[in-house]
Amino acid sequence: QMNANDCHDPPKYWTIHGLWPDKAEDCNRTWHFNVTEIKDLMSDMRHYWPDVLHSSLNRTQFWKHEWDKHGTCAATLEVLNSQKKYFGKALELYQHVDLNGCLLKAGIKPSSSYYKMTAIKEVLTSFYGVTPKIQCLPPEEGEEAQTIGQIEFCFTKELQLVNCMAPKSESNPMQAHLKLGTEQLSVCNDTLPTYYPSEVQ
């Protein structure tokens, strides 16, 4: 849906957006991204954490952004206190959560017919024992269905799964809405039919 993008072969599976600490006071903004520190992780990074917006231009742009904005803050935890640990642990958590496997087991697959958001939530909650935050693109003009866009899992500082709470205040717009290119993701509406597309046309 983005005009100037370069998204040629979007993956047919859920990928990583990032690993984001909630409180971001102690970020070391002078700690610049250095791709050589994660060279051992490269094949997994390209597969599970691809940059679908700037793929041919510079494959590391998305990772640099995630490190600068979130990784430098997450690094206050010892288990995340280097680029290798930050990206490596995010990949590990992704494999551990195995969202692709969970949805597939429950028979929730990209489809042209709609799902009930409550049914998707129930599957995830019973599988993981915690409630993730599911975000959608709202219906376009004249359409009835929202489109599932992102599923956010929450962890304690010990990196154990925990319920995601709705943001206490909407004063931080970044928590409530996430700009994705020109589109806006927000927490899905429980009552709207939900489209889970194989590719967003």
pLDDT tens, residue by residue, 122-132? 999 999 999 99
Is 92 one of the catalytic residues?
no
Angle, vertex CA 22, rays to CA 67 and CA 93, nearest 5? 65
Whether 72 and 119 map to the same domain: the answer is no
Q: Sorting pLDDT into bands at 50, 70 and 90, what band is 44?
A: very high
Is 17 one of the catalytic residues?
yes
Range of the domain at 116: 110-168+175-196
Is 84 within a domain?
yes
Whether 2 and 93 map to the same domain: the answer is yes
Is 8 within a domain?
yes
Q: Give me the catalytic one of 17, 54, 65, 177.
A: 17
Digit-coded pLDDT (tens) for 45-92: 999 999 887 766 568 999 999 999 999 999 999 999 999 999 999 999
How many distinct structural domains can be found in the chain? 2
Whether 4 and 88 map to the same domain: the answer is yes
Q: Give me the catalytic one of 8, 47, 66, 96.
A: 66
Query: Is this structure's pTM higher than 0.85?
Result: yes
Q: Give me the catalytic one of 32, 37, 65, 70.
A: 70
Q: How far apart are CA 43 and CA 37, in angstroms?
A: 14
Whether 18 and 76 map to the same domain: the answer is yes
54: helix, coil or strand? Answer: coil
146-152/161-162 β-pairing: unpaired
Is 70 one of the catalytic residues?
yes
